[in-house]
Amino acid sequence: MTDSASPNTPRATAILLAGGQGSRAGFAVPKQLATLGGKPVLRWSLDAFAAHPAIVGGVLVANNDVMAAVGTLPKGWICADPGAERQQSVANALTVLADWDDAVPVLVHDAARPGVTIDVVDRLLSALDGAEAAIPTLPVPDTLVEQSGSVAGDVVDRGALARVQTPQAFHLGTLRRAHAQAVDTTATDDAQLVRRLGVAVATVPGDARLHKLTYAEDIAILNGLLGIETMTRTAVGMGYDVHRLVADKPLWIGGIEIAHSHGLEGHSDADVGLHALTDAILGALADGDIGDHFPPSDPQWRGAASHRFLEFAASRVAERGGRIDHVDLTIIAEAPKIGPHRSAMRARIAEILAIPVDRVSVKATTTERLGFTGRREGIAVQAVATLQLPEN
| pLDDT classification of 185: cutoffs 50, 70, 90 | confident
- Please tell me the least confidently modeled range out of 29-33, 144-148, 186-190: 29-33
Tell me how crowded residue 8 is: count the other CB atoms within 10 A of its CB.
6
Is pLDDT at 256 greater than 70 in this prediction? yes
Q: Which of 34-48, 106-120, 173-187 has the highest mean pLDDT?
A: 106-120
Summarize pLDDT for 144-158 with one digit per residue, the tens: 988 888 889 899 998
Domains and CATH numbers, the chain: 12-225 (3.90.550.10), 232-390 (3.30.1330.50)
Distance from C-alpha of 350 to C-alpha of 358, rounded to nearest angstrom:
8
Q: What is the DSSP string of 333-349?
A: -SSS-SGGGHHHHHHHH
20 contacts 85 by C-beta, under 8 angstroms: no
324 contacts 383 by C-beta, under 8 angstroms: no
Distance from C-alpha of 147 to C-alpha of 151, rounded to nearest angstrom:
6
Order of strands across the sheet with 378-390? 262-264, 232-247, 378-390, 323-332, 360-365
Region 3-24 average pLDDT: 67
Region 30-34 average pLDDT: 84
Tell me how crowded residue 213 is: count the other CB atoms within 10 A of its CB.
26
Q: List, in sequence order, every residue forming a beta bridge with 332; answer none if it has no partner.
A: 365, 380
Is pLDDT at 10 greater than 80 in this prediction? no
Mean pLDDT taken over the chain: 89
390 contacts 34 by C-beta, under 8 angstroms: no
Summarize pLDDT for 95-105 with one digit per residue, the tens: 999 999 999 99
- Return the exposure string of 153-188: e unless at least 16 CB atoms fall within 10 Å of the residue's CB, then b: eeeeeeeeeeebbbbbbbbbebbbbbbeebeeeeee
Task: Provide the residue type at 223 as one letter.
Answer: N
Alpha helices in the chain (DSSP H): 41-51, 64-70, 86-96, 118-127, 172-180, 190-195, 218-225, 272-284, 290-293, 307-319, 342-353, 371-374
Give CA 186 to chain center in angstroms: 24
- Three-class secondary structure of residue 82 per DSSP: coil
Element (H, E) at 16: strand 12-17
